[in-house]
Every structure is written in C-alpha cells, then in structure tokens.
Structure 1
Amino acid sequence: MLLAGVSALNMSVFLPSLPAMTQAFETEYGVMQLSISLYLACTAALQMVIGPMSDRYGRRPIVLATLVIFALASLGCYLSTSIEMFLTFRMISAAVAVGMVMSRTVVRDVVPMAEAASMIGYVTMGMSLVPMAAPTLGGFIDEFFGWRAIFLFTFALGAAMTLLCWVDQGETNQEKSVSFTEQFADYPELFTSLRFWGYALAAAFASGAFFAFLGGSPYVASVVYELPPTTTRYLFGVPAIGYFVGNMISGRYSVSIGVNHMVLIGAALLVFGMAASLVVTAIGYGSAFTFFSFCTFVGLGNGMVLPNATAGLLSVRPHLAGTASGVGGAIMIGGGAALAALAGALLEQGHGSYPLQWVMLLSTIASLVCILLVMRRDP
C-alpha cells in the first residue's frame, strides 16, 4: 500500500504550486507543465525495464535501488536553481514508479487471479486518497512553507520508505528467470495474447481519463472558472471519494462477480459520468461545481476498472507477471501522458472546459470497447 501510495503522491503533490513555480523559474506555464507530461513519459519507459528486471533479479533489490534514486532526485528538485535543472531531477525521480509495478506484482506472486483482484482493490483503496488528495496536501505545504518544501517532504518520504523496505520487505519472486535471453524468448507468448492487450488497454483508457483530468483541471479551475488556489486544492481531491468507493467495491465483490464484469461495470460508470458532465455543460448548467462533481465518476470507475484489469493482465501468463505489470503500467502511464498533454494543448485554444470533457469521454468509451472485446474473446 505504501509503495503504491508514494508512487502516486509524487505524481501530483506539487500541482497547486505550478503557477508559483512558473514565476520562480521565470518560464512559461507550458514549459512548467512538462514536469507532468515528461514525468509520465519517463514513468512509462521505466516500467518497461522494471518488470523484466524484477523477474530476473527479484522484487526486493529493485525496490530498494529505485527508492534511493527517488529520494536523492527529490533532494535535487528541492535544490534546483533553474527550470532545466528542476526538470532533469524531476525526470529522475520517476524511479519511484517501481512502487506501482511492484505493489501489483508482489500481490500476484502470492495469490491467484480472483483473490489478487480483491487484494489489489484493497491495496489501492488504502492509497486511493493519495493520488487525488495529494494536491491538497501539497497546497497546504506550499501555503505554509513554500513550494520547495514539497520536495523536501518527498525526500523524507523516500528515505523513510527505503528504510522500511530494507527492514520489512521479503522476496516474493520464487521463480527468477535464468537470463534475459530466456525472458525475451517467452515474450511472444505474452505479446501475442489478445486478452493481455484487452486488459492493458481497458486500464490505459480508463486511467487516461484521470490523467487528462490531472493535466487539464488546473487550467479549467483557474482560467475557465477563475477559482482561487485555496479553493482549487480541495476540488482536486473530489475524485478520491469515488476512487475510494470503487476500490472498496472491488475488494468486496471481485471474487463473487468476476474480474471481467467488474471492469465492464466500472467502464460503463466512467462513460455515464463523462457523458452527463458534457451534456450538463452543453445545456447551459456548466459550473465548477458540476464539472468537479461529475469527475467523482472518474474515481469510481477507475476504482473498479484498474485493480480488476490489472489482475487480469497479470494472470494471462503468471510466469511473466513482472513483465506484464511493467508493460501494462507503461501502456497506462504512456497513454496518460499523451492524454494529459493533449488536454492541456486543446484547452489553451479556448472553448472553456469542452476540450477536456471530450478527451475524457472518448477515453472512457475506448475503455468500455476494450473490455467488451476481452469478454467476447474469453469463451
């Protein structure tokens, strides 16, 4: 839970400080926003490496090494004196993405698929307030201590997690690959599985709506609806309510209802919420309240889709669980980076909140189509 939580926190904890950081580094908002999109791109690329390495060398050494790198990179962000220096250390801090991969893989190492979906649901429920409520925490730290203190906080968190994992985390990979050559020989078995790609893309498009929200909602809040930062930091946490409920439902019902049907229900809720948000805005009742309220469905749907789709893709080829987790995570984060950048670019063209709402709606529809194709393939 803590590994996944720290990874998620580092992604969004500094969002309310973007305007202040833009001024401090004397740059443009579009350049400052690279700290989101480039970070997500590095996270995606890193997950492609982390999974195979953990299959080869084990989960524990990979976790410890990357947590040390994350802590030191956070300290570099704190000490940065230019935007180039900050972005460099920010990209290096993406090493903490190990938490997103390993937290899922470790669960799958020790329990079967249906139980893994339930357990991953409880794990992500425990950290559900982190990725979406982190901006609220970052806003408070910025208000009282300045934006640099946010990265001092992540440094301390990384150091504490390194110590905890050194003392407490055991090795769960009991069937390490003999060599990378042996792994690569098995890759076609995973990559030619249509069910793997179906689960991976269902998760990617569902989370894509959330990443588009991360990339576009600061603009919508501050420019479209002219909200002050003190109000915005609370609104960023609204999807966390739905995410918590969705994870709780996954933890309670994934075993009895089944992985596929849980993903289907979650994706349908995502489509409903985003379609309703667009319709309400189109008929003239759009406001900051309605926009962020409907974004609760982003959390609810993802809380049901992600743990179940993840358990599905990890179980297609259990002996390649680490690789599957890494590739699936890379697809999810890489797609999220693209959608976050797209949302930001479209919003700057004007037209209020419509561009962001359309991006989120189309992404959720794609997620629904993917799980329907998986269910058609299963028999």
Structure 2
Amino acid sequence: MADLAAPRFLDSRTPPNVLTLTMIVAAGAMSMNVFLPSLPGMAEHFQTDYRLMQLSVALYLAVNAILQIIVGPISDMVGRRPVILWSFALFILATLGCILAPTVQVFLAFRMAQAVIVGGMAISRAAVRDMYPPDQAASMLGYVTMGMSIVPMLAPALGGVLDQAFGWKANFWLQAAMGAGVLWLVWRDMGETAMRREGGLRRQLHDYPELLLSRQFWGYCAAAAASAGAFFSYLGGAPFIGSVIYHMDPATMGFFFGAPSVGYLFGNWFSGRYSVRFGINRMVIIGATIATVALVMSLVLFHLGLGSQYVFFGFMIPLGLGNGILLPNANAGMLSVRPHLAGSAAGLGGAILIGGGAGLSALSGWLLTPDTGAFPLLWMMVISSTLSIVAITLVIRRQRRLGA
C-alpha cells in the first residue's frame, strides 16, 4: 500500500473522495440496467426479434470482460487516474452512437463500445486497495458499493418512466449526461493512488503468472463469479419474465426489476459495518448462504404452484442482500493476494466475473419461453449461487491446511 496523503475533496493532488469512487461505479451500474425496461420497445423500434435485442446485455458483458483483462495491467503501469478518465470520455462517445444508431446492428456495435466504462468500475476497486489494507479495503468497498447501489435500485424504475414519457433514447441521454458529470468529477478530485512500477507493460505481463498460479486468487474469483452469475442470469431473463409472462408495462417492470438492489444496499451496509470484525472469509460464506437459501425457497414455491411476480421478484431482495455482503469481501480477497498487482487482479478477476455473467445472461434469454415460465432461470440461479458456497469453502479449507 502506498504512503498516500489524506483525501481532500476536489483536490486532484490527493486520493479520491469516497463520493467520487461511488459515482464512478454507479455510472457503470446505471449503464448496465437503466435501459432494460425498454428492451421490448427497442425491439419494436428496430423491427427485430426480442432475443436479438436482448444480446445488448450479453455482448456488453462479454466486451466488458475482455477489456478488464487489458485495463488492469495498464493501470498498474500508467496509473489509475488516466485509465478512468479515458474510459469515461470514450463511454460518452459510444453512448451518443447508441442514440444515433440507424439499425440494430449499429446499435449493438456501439452498445459493445459502451463497455469501455469498465475501466472506471474495475480500476476504482484497485484504487481502494491502494489506499487501505485488506479487511479495511473490504469495509470501504462495502460503503462505496452501498452508495452506488441506490443508482441501480432506482435506475430501472426511472428508465421505465423515461421510456413511457420520451421513448427509449431518453435512457441513453441520461447515461451520456451522467458520464459527463463523473468525468468532470474524476478530473477535479481523483489524484493518483498507484505506485509506478518499472519495466512497463512487459513487466506487468511477466508478473501475471503470480496471479494465475495462486489457488487463493482463483478461489475468491470463483466465489464472486458464481454468486454474481445468479444476478447476471436475472439481468438476462427478468425482462422477459416481467414483460411476457406477467405482462408488465415498462414503468411497472422497472419498479419490480430494482428488487435485488434493495437487498444489495443493506448487504453493502452490513459489509461496510462488519467486514473488519468478522473477516473476509466469514463474510463471503454468510453472503453466499443467504443468496442460495433465498433462491431455493423461490424455486420450491414455484414447483408447488405458488409462483407469481411477487414471489419471483420478492426473493430477489435476499439475493441482492447476499451479493452485497459477498462481493466486496471476495473482491478484497482477490486484490490482497498480490497487492503489488492490484490493478491486474481487479482486471482479471472482473473479467472472470463479467465473462461468466455474459454467458449466463445470454443463456437465460434463450432458454425462456412463455411455456417454460420462470423455471429455467430459477434453476440456473440456484446452481450458480450454490457453486459460490463450494468455492469459498475450498478457500477456507486450503487456508486452514496452510496455517496448520
């Protein structure tokens, strides 16, 4: 951890304020889900099939994953600040491209380009690790993501209202405006947090095997990816569940769609409050258990014939609660395995998490039909969340063996 000065708000010579870090991540979260209630209307606008339109989620996540592998080592080499600034500048241009796209193919191309905002989301986590030791970093990540969870909680509902009032493009104008605001905030407030390393990009790539050969790193990655995989499955399938199976209008679906973020908010608060006291591993197992139990209960109710929109979306609240506890701690675990490669770890870990999420998001969209109902999606989410318990259990057992 670098010997950094205390943050002073709107002073670019000091590390960033927690508000700046929160807004960096919030802008990325908004880009991911604010337009989802508009997907049926966008499919009609571009005169294409809903399943093709739904690829705007999966393709975004796939490019997001690839970029994280690249931006992590670059941020270790040139610093966190320039990577985040360039990420937001390019994101604004890509968002304007989405607005002006004449065809669905052009739209999807610019939608993939929007994934460049991941440079801000991933590297902000590395900046937190630059500033704090492991358990405190987990606590700070909890507070940062607690603040940003308000945005994705409100974004789908706001997106649905904007869609009904002004059409689907209003959601992308909102993204462009927020991107510009965060770009200004980063320029004014975020000083460099990373220690420059000699050797350039070649040195970064040479050091990558330190992460690839670490079982502890892979264990935390697997726990985070499996737990988040349940949420990304939800991102891909929930718009279909709401609009086709339960016939919700965009505003209503947007309101229900934000259910996981309610739990995520409280999970982040719990993580920020108790991570230092309980430790990373215990917090991860608590979060994984809460999410998995909730999803199993939802699946059982559906099999008993008691399923409804209230059951489906209601049990997404404890899913968000579990993820809100698990993810800050699993991320802190990843970044602490090799602190001098925090940016690379953030990029590679994020790529694994988002890459798996892209696949599950696409798969959930293709498996769901009016005849299947919510069952394929719920089974995917239960299996994915259960694997997070398996992954963190293996990490804990290995650490106990090494400590013995």
Amino acid at match of 1:139: G
Which amino acid in structure 1 is aligned with residue 254 of structure 2? Answer: R
Closer, same or farther: CA 216–132 of 1 in aligned 2, 3 Å: farther
1:168 and 2:189 aligned:
yes
Match of 1:306 among 297, 307, 327: 327
Separation of aligned partners in 2, 1:83 and 1:184: 37
Please tell me whether the aligned partners of residues 153 and 262 of structure 2 are also in contact (alpha carbons under 8 angstroms): no
Give, in whole Å, the separation in 2 of the partners of 1:14 and 1:8.
Answer: 11
- TM-score when normalising by structure 2: 0.92
Deviation of 1:349 after TM superposition, in Å, equals 7.5
Name the structure 1 match of 2:364.
343
Matched, 1:270 2:288: no
2:387 maps to: 366
TM-score (norm 1): 0.98
Q: Deviations over 1:229-281 (max 9, x none)?
A: 33211101111111011101000000000100000000001110000000011
Runs (4+) of structure 1 exceeding 4 A deviation are none
Q: Secondary structure at the match of 2:305?
A: helix
Aligned to 2:85: 64
Alignment of structure 1 residues 14-29 onto 2, 5 Å: 14-29=35-50
1:322 matched to 2:343? The reply is yes
The letter of the residue matching 1:339 is L
- Correspondence 1:177-196 to 2 at 5 A: 177-196=198-217
Does the residue aligned with 1:285 lie in a helix, a strand or coil?
Answer: coil
| Residue equivalent to 2:115 | 94
| 1:99-120 residue CA offsets vs partner (Å, 9 max, x unmatched) | 2211211100011000000000
Kindly indicate whether the alpha-carbon contact (under 8 Å) linking 2:224 and 2:326 is maintained by their aligned counterparts in 1.
yes
- CA–CA separation in structure 1 for the residues paired with 2:365 and 2:114: 23
CA distance in 1, matches of 2:393, 2:151: 30
**How many angstroms does 1:59 deviate by?**
0.5
**1:235 is aligned to 2:260:** no
Note the 1:38-57 alignment, pairs <5 A: 38-57=59-78
Distance 2:295 2:306 in 1: 15
Structure 1: stretches of 5+ with no match in the other structure: none
Map 1:124-143; keep pairs closer than 5 Å: 124-143=145-164
Deviation (angstroms), 1:187: 1.4
Answering whether residue 7 of structure 2 is matched by residue 5 of structure 1, we say no
The alignment partner of 1:117 has SS state of: helix
CA distance in 2, matches of 1:351, 1:88: 31
| Cα distance in 2 for residues equivalent to 1:230 and 1:76 | 25
Q: Distance in 1 between matches of 2:193 and 2:98?
A: 33
- The CA distance in 2 between the partners of 1:97 and 1:348, in whole Å, is 31
Q: Indicate whether 1:357 and 2:381 are aligned.
A: no
Q: Aligned partners of 2:107 and 2:46: how far apart in 1? A: 9
Offset, 1:308: 0.1
User: Is 1:207 the counterpart of 2:228 in the alignment?
Assistant: yes
Give the drift of 1:226. 2.3
The alpha-carbon distance between structure 1 residues 193 and 109, as it changes in their structure 2 partners (threshold 3 A), is same
2:312 matched to 1:252? no
Instruction: Give the stretch that moved more between structures: 294-303 or 216-225.
Output: 216-225
Instruction: Quote how far apart the aligned CAs of 1:166 are.
Output: 1.2
CA contact (8 A) 1:25 1:83 kept: yes
Shift of 1:178: 2.5
**In structure 2, what residue type is equivalent to 1:100?**
M
Gaps of 5+ in 2: 1-21
Tell me the CA shift for residue 182 of structure 1.
Answer: 1.3
Equivalent residue letter for 1:237:
G
Q: State the shift of 1:130 in Å.
A: 2.2
Match of 1:216 among 232, 237, 241: 237
Residue 177 of structure 1 and its aligned partner are, at CA, apart by 4.3
Indicate the SS of the match to 1:187: helix
Match of 1:287 in 2: 308
User: Which stretch shifts more, 159-168 or 274-283?
Assistant: 159-168
Q: Whole-Å Cα distance in 2 between the matches of residues 340 and 133 of structure 1?
A: 21
1:30 pairs with 2:51: yes
Q: CA RMSD in A?
A: 1.1
CA–CA separation in structure 2 for the residues paired with 1:130 and 1:215: 19
Instruction: Give 1:113's aligned amino acid.
Output: P
